[in-house]
Each structure stands twice: as C-alpha cells, then as structure tokens.
C-alpha cells in the first residue's frame, strides 16, 4: 500500500480539519505552481492510464490462457498469451516508473519553488512580524507544511485517480464476468473499511502523540545545547541528562505504540485478501462444478481480488493526505497573504552619486503595541559627525536606529538622508548606505573569510584581508592554523568576544557604508584587546556619519555630540562637559556607571 498511515505525522489542527473549509485562494496558489508543469503532468497522467490498463489486463489474460488455450491444449496460442502477458507486465513496469518519477519530480520542484517563495516573503517581513512568532513556528511552515504539498502532488492527485480508475475497472470487469460471484467477493468490503477506519483512528492518535513527544525532546535538546556554557558552569549535566532520558523514553514508548498499530495494518489487509479469495474459491468452485462458469473466470477473479485491496486501502487514506495538505496549504497562503508593513514605492528615488550621509529626524513619532515609544524627536546629524545616544534602558535608543534602517516605519514625521525621505528609497538602496554593528555579535557557522565577506558578497580575498588589517583583526586571524579559512563555529563559539567584535567591524567596513550604526559592542576584554577595539573603532568611524548607542561612557570620547534620550524624548544634546553641568539625567547615569553600579 502506498504511503500508509505513517507517511506523515499530522498536526493537532489537521486532525479535525474539514475540506469544506478549504480556501479557494490557497488552492489557486497550488495550481499557480502546477500550471507551468502541465506537459509533465499530462505525461504522468498517460503513464497512469497505462498502469491502470496493465493492472486490469493481466488477470483477464490469465482467464483467456486457461479457458481458450490450456484446457483445449493449444500450446501455440498459450505461448502467444504468455508473450502478451510479458509485454503487459513490461508496460506496467515502465509506466509505473514514469508515473512515480514524473509525479515525484513535479512534487519536489514545486516544494522547492513554494519554499523559496515563502522564505523570501518571510525574511522580507518587518521586525514586528518576528516578535509575534516563534522561530519553531516559522521553521515548521517552511519545512513541514511545504513538504506536505509534495505528498499531495506526488502521491495524491495522480495516485488518487489511478486507484479510482483501477477500482472502477476491477468492479466493472468482475460484474461483467459473473455478477453473482462479484457480489459475493464484495462481502469482504465492509470488513476492510471497518478495519482501516479503526486502525486509522488509533494510528493518527498515536502519531500525533509521537509528534508531541518529539517536539518536547527537540526543544529540550535545543535549549540545553544553546545554553551549554551555563549548563556546564552550573554543573547541570547529570540533571539535564536525567530529564533527557525521561523525555527520550516517553518518545520511545509513543513510537512503539504507533509501530504496533502500523504492524497490524498489513496482516489485517492480508487477512481481508485471504477472506476474499476464500469466498471466490468457495462460491466460484461451486459454480465451476455446476458448469455455470469456466475455471478461467475463477482464476481471473482471484487475480482481481488480490488487486482490489491495495487501491481500496489507498483510497481510504486519501482523505487524510488531502486533509493534512489542505491545512498546510492554507497556513502557507496565510503567510504569503500577509502584507509587509514596510512598503517600497513603485518608482523609488535613485541614490545620488555624491552622498554625504547627512541624517535628519524631523518630528518623528512611533508607537509599538499601542504605546508611544518615540515622541516628537527632532534631530539633525551633519555629514561625518559621530553622535552618541545615551539614556536609561527602554528610553528608545534602539528603536530610533531601527527606524533609520526601516526595520519599522515612523507613524508621524519623516527621516531624511541627504535631504531624501528614506521611504522614497528602495530598501536595498537604503540599507546599502548603512552598516549596523549590533551589541550582540552574530557570526555564521562558516569561515572567518565568509563572515567578513557577508558585508559585501562581491568582495575579493584581497579586500577581505585589507578590511581585517584596517580593524586590527589580521594578526590574530593569521595565527589560526587555517587562517581566513578557519571555521568559527555556530554563533562564532570558537572565537573570543574580542575576536568576534573585530571580525564584525571588518564585516561592516567591507560594505563601504556612508553611515555606521554602532550598538556599542565593547565586550569585557583584556586591556590589550580593548586597545585594539578602540583603534578599530577609530578606523571604522573615520570619514563616516556615525550613530552610537553608548553603553559605556568611554565611547563618548570619540563622539562629537551626545544626545540624551529619555522615555522617547530627546532631553538634551551637547558635549559631555555641557551635559554634566546642565542635564541631571546624564550626570546621574555617568556617576552611576563611574561607581560601577550600572550602565546606560
């Protein structure tokens, strides 16, 4: 039986999903991707018809062989029938291969296309989208839900019609050969449906339990591996291993229960087939003895009874396949239907060749979850100036730079770069002007060279080395056994905090930005590394407009001006000396950090 019950594990939502609620818009999404492959689909359909023909022809040819040639003793005619049987089976082999290959090929191609479309759409969504959704949910849409479409296409449409035609053909031929014997053969059908229905219900429940237990196991593994340093530091290995053992045992028990139901499926189907054969031999043999039918008809019936059960079992599972795929398709369409809050203009303004990097926040306001977090901010940053943003936690510093890069859009007012509203630029153009160095450095699990080149995929190896040299990263990279080909590990786990920081500076520098946003990423490092980082910062900020979110007041030394932000409002702008005299908030923050009691 193709697919069976264990071919795919269903979500809870799929269990009670009704095809009556199937979204036509979601179906259009599927057919939009199917339409370009109509030639391949047509060929697969022709192969399906050939499979059906070969399946139906074989038992009937056996009847002819027995009645017309074996019993009369016609050896030459028998040889001809045997040759014809070989040709029929050859046709079945070839057409079955083509049907399976072509439908599978279309399924995988469409999966790749839909996954690419969904991935591109998701990563283009604003930050507010990601804050409302779990990473696991997004991964499930891109992997599990899209894979469900492959099953629908490769083992759904084509096989559904194949099984339906095969069943219809078998029933028609059996009735034409001997109606009474056909009706006796069909007595086993209620037993089949009852068995499959009962087993199917139990297996769906069992596999759903498997999914739940596996999800808990995966979540536990991911959490402990992500926090491995804390796990080891707090000596939690034994405790966590015990918890993992419990979750693993629960997962094992759930799988064993599912396997036990699955193991009952094929013996049950075999028992149904045997019952059908017994009915055919009993009643058919009696009819042969009475002279009502020929022996060839009984042999043909035995062949059709054996063929009858596989498509019948498959059709009983078609609903489950469509049920899961339809639910998955609707969830995919739900995501694709979401319109990004950050919209680009149809005809964006082109960047000027001579850019200054001048920034102007003009009375901007921004609210998040109904709370206004930026309130009438008006600020001008001249070209090549370094402005530091200082304020208590939650003052709106990070939100302000997120608005500059259009991770969010202002609700009121406007942000200008070189007198051009950033909403008039394409997102690619805007973000090519700006390079962001975040506080929490993220490196990809690849080489040092590729992590630096991430800032400019077209950069040559020489440019990568030059950027590393400019930010004082070249020396420590050269000391690695593999140099720039050294793998940094997941999140850069094989590097120190200072090394990751310098690589992030090189990555920002190689993108040749006009504006640098530095969410001050100065880690707790030794004095020598601190010196290297400060020198690298000088190189990174030189000749560029810079906006620094200052967490350590040592960074303020390189700022031309300092803006004090509090509860979404800029309280004051000026030099360190001026703000110490005139702004109580700034003075308090400075003294608090100076005494080692906190930071901005």
Clarify whether residues 202 and 101 are in a common domain.
no
β-sheet bridge partners, residue 377: 364
Q: Check residue 392 and give its pLDDT.
A: 87
Clarify whether residues 135 and 244 are in a common domain.
no
Q: Check residue 525 and give its pLDDT.
A: 59
| Secondary structure of 501-563 as H, E, C letters | HHHHHHHHHHCCCCEEEEECCCCCCCHHHHHHHHHHHHHHHCCCEEEEECCCHHHHHHCCEEE
Structure token pair of residue 435: 């390079």
Q: Which of 406, 207, 347, 185 is nearest to 275 (CA)?
A: 185
Q: Check residue 229 and give its pLDDT.
A: 67
CATH number of the structural domain spanning residue 512: 3.40.50.300
Q: Does any domain span residue 2? A: no
CA gap 428, 356 in Å, rounded: 18
Q: Does any domain span residue 307? A: no
Q: Check residue 483 and give its pLDDT.
A: 93
Clarify whether residues 276 and 248 are in a common domain.
yes
Q: Check residue 527 and give its pLDDT.
A: 67
Q: Among residues 235, 258, 292, which one ends one of the domains?
A: 292
**How far is the first Cα of the chain from the last one, in angstroms, to the nearest whole number?**
65
Q: Does any domain span residue 351? A: no
Residues 6+ apart with CB under 8 A from 146: 111, 114, 115, 118, 328, 332
DSSP state of 154: I
Clarify whether residues 267 and 328 are in a common domain.
no
Clarify whether residues 88 and 55 are in a common domain.
yes
β-sheet bridge partners, residue 561: 387
Helical (H) or strand (E) element with 388: strand 386-390
DSSP percent split of the chain into helix, strand, coil, nearest 5: 65, 10, 25
Q: Does any domain span residue 206? A: yes
Structure token pair of residue 274: 């045997």
C-alpha radius of gyration, the chain, whole number: 35
Q: Does any domain span residue 350? A: no
Residues 6+ apart with CB under 8 A from 548: 386, 387, 388, 389, 517, 518, 520, 555, 558, 559
Cβ atoms of residues 338 and 125 within 8 Å = yes
Measured from the Cβ of residue 16, the count of other Cβ atoms closer than 10 Å reads 8
Q: Among residues 292, 308, 328, which one ends one of the domains?
A: 292
Residues 6+ apart with CB under 8 A from 49: 165
Q: Per-residue pLDDT for the chain (600 aa), expressed as one digit of tens each?
A: 443 333 333 444 444 444 444 556 666 777 787 888 888 888 988 998 898 899 889 888 888 888 888 888 878 888 888 899 999 999 999 998 998 888 888 888 888 888 888 888 888 787 777 777 777 677 777 887 787 777 777 666 677 788 888 888 988 999 999 899 989 988 888 887 787 778 777 877 777 787 678 777 877 787 777 677 677 776 778 888 888 899 899 889 988 988 887 788 778 777 888 888 899 899 999 999 988 889 999 999 988 888 887 777 676 666 666 666 777 777 788 788 877 777 777 788 877 767 888 999 999 999 887 788 899 899 999 999 999 999 888 888 888 988 998 888 888 999 999 888 889 888 888 888 888 888 788 888 899 999 999 888 888 999 999 999 988 899 999 999 999 999 998 888 888 888 898 898 899 888 888 899 988 655 555 667 777 877 888 888 888 899 988 777 767 777 899 999 998 899 999 988 899 999 999 888 888 876 654 444
Q: Which of 527, 464, 483, 529 is nearest to 502 (CA)?
A: 529
Clarify whether residues 231 and 325 are in a common domain.
no
Q: Does any domain span residue 575? A: yes
Clarify whether residues 158 and 138 are in a common domain.
yes
Clarify whether residues 433 and 578 are in a common domain.
yes
Clarify whether residues 166 and 199 are in a common domain.
no
CA gap 438, 127 in Å, rounded: 15
Q: Check residue 479 and give its pLDDT.
A: 93
Clarify whether residues 455 and 482 are in a common domain.
yes
Q: Which of 123, 116, 139, 135 is nearest to 338 (CA)?
A: 123
Could you give phi then psi for residue 442, rounded to 5 degrees? -120, 120
β-sheet bridge partners, residue 548: 388, 518
Clarify whether residues 192 and 164 are in a common domain.
no
CATH number of the structural domain spanning residue 69: 1.20.1560.10
Helical (H) or strand (E) element with 364: strand 359-368
How many domains does one find in the chain? 3
Q: Does any domain span residue 533? A: yes
Q: Among residues 257, 274, 292, which one ends one of the domains?
A: 292
Could you give phi then psi for residue 352, rounded to 5 degrees? -75, 150
Domain that holds residue 17: 13-178+318-338
Clarify whether residues 254 and 371 are in a common domain.
no
Q: Check residue 6 and give its pLDDT.
A: 33
Whole-model pTM: value is 0.66
């Amino acid at each position: 039986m193709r697919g069976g019950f264990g071919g795919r594990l269903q979500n809870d939502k799929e269990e009670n999903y009704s095809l009556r609620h199937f979204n036509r818009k979601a179906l259009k999404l599927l057919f939009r991707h199917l339409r370009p492959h109509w030639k391949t689909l047509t060929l697969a359909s022709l192969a399906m018809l050939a499979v059906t023909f070969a399946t139906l022809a074989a038992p009937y040819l056996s009847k002819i062989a027995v009645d017309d040639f074996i019993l009369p003793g016609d050896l030459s005619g028998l040889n001809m029938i045997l040759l014809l049987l070989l040709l029929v089976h050859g046709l079945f082999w070839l057409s079955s291969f083509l049907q399976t290959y072509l439908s599978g090929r279309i399924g995988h191609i469409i999966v790749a296309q839909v996954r690419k479309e969904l991935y591109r759409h998701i990563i283009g969504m604003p930050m507010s989208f990601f804050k409302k959704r779990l990473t696991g949910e997004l991964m499930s849409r891109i992997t599990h839900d899209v894979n469900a479409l492959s099953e629908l296409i490769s083992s759904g449409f084509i096989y559904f019609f194949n099984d339906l035609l095969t069943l219809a053909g078998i029933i028609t031929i059996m009735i034409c050969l001997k109606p009474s014997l056909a009706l006796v053969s069909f007595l086993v059908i209620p037993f089949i449906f009852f068995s499959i229905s009962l087993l199917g219900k139990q297996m769906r429940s069992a596999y759903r339990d498997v999914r739940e237990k596996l999800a808990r196991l995966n979540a536990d593994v991911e959490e402990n591996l992500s926090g491995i340093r804390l796990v080891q530091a707090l000596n939690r290995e034994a405790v966590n291993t015990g918890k993992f053992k419990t979750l693993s045992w629960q997962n094992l028990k759930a799988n064993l229960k599912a396997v036990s139901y699955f193991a009952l499926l094929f013996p049950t189907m075999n028992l149904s087939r045997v019952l059908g054969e017994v009915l055919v031999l009993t009643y058919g043999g009696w009819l042969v003895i009475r002279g009502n039918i020929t022996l060839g008809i009984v042999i043909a019936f035995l062949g059709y009874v054996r063929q009858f059960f596989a498509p019948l079992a498959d059709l009983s599972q078609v609903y489950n396949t469509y049920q899961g795929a339809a639910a998955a398709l609707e969830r995919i369409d739900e995501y694709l239907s979401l319109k990004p809050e950050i919209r680009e203009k149809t005809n964006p303004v082109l960047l000027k060749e001579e850019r200054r990097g001048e920034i102007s926040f003009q009375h901007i306001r921004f609210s998040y979850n109904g709370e206004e977090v930026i309130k009438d901010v008006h600020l001008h940053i001249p070209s090549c100036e370094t402005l530091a943003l200082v304020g208590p936690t939650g003052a709106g510093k990070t939100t302000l730079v997120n608005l500059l890069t259009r991770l969010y859009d202002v609700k009121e007012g406007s942000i200008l770069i070189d007198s051009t509203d950033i909403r008039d630029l394409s997102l690619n153009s805007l973000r090519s002007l700006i390079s962001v160095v975040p506080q929490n450095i993220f490196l990809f699990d690849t080489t040092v060279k590729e992590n630096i080149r991430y800032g400019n995929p077209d950069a040559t190896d020489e440019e990568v080395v030059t950027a590393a040299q400019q930010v004082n990263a070249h020396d420590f990279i050269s000391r690695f056994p593999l140099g720039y080909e050294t793998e940094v590990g997941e999140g850069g786990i094989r590097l120190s905090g200072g090394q990751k920081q310098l690589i992030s500076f090189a990555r920002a520098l190689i993108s040749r930005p006009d504006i640098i946003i530095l969410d001050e990423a100065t880690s707790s490092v030794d004095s020598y590394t601190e010196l290297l980082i400060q020198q690298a910062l000088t190189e990174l900020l030189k000749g560029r407009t810079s906006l620094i979110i200052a967490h350590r007041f040592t960074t303020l030394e390189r700022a031309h001006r300092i803006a004090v932000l509090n509860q979404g409002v800029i309280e004051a702008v000026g030099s360190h000396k001026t703000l110490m005299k005139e702004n109580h908030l700034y003075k308090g923050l400075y003294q608090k950090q100076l005494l080692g009691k906190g930071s901005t």
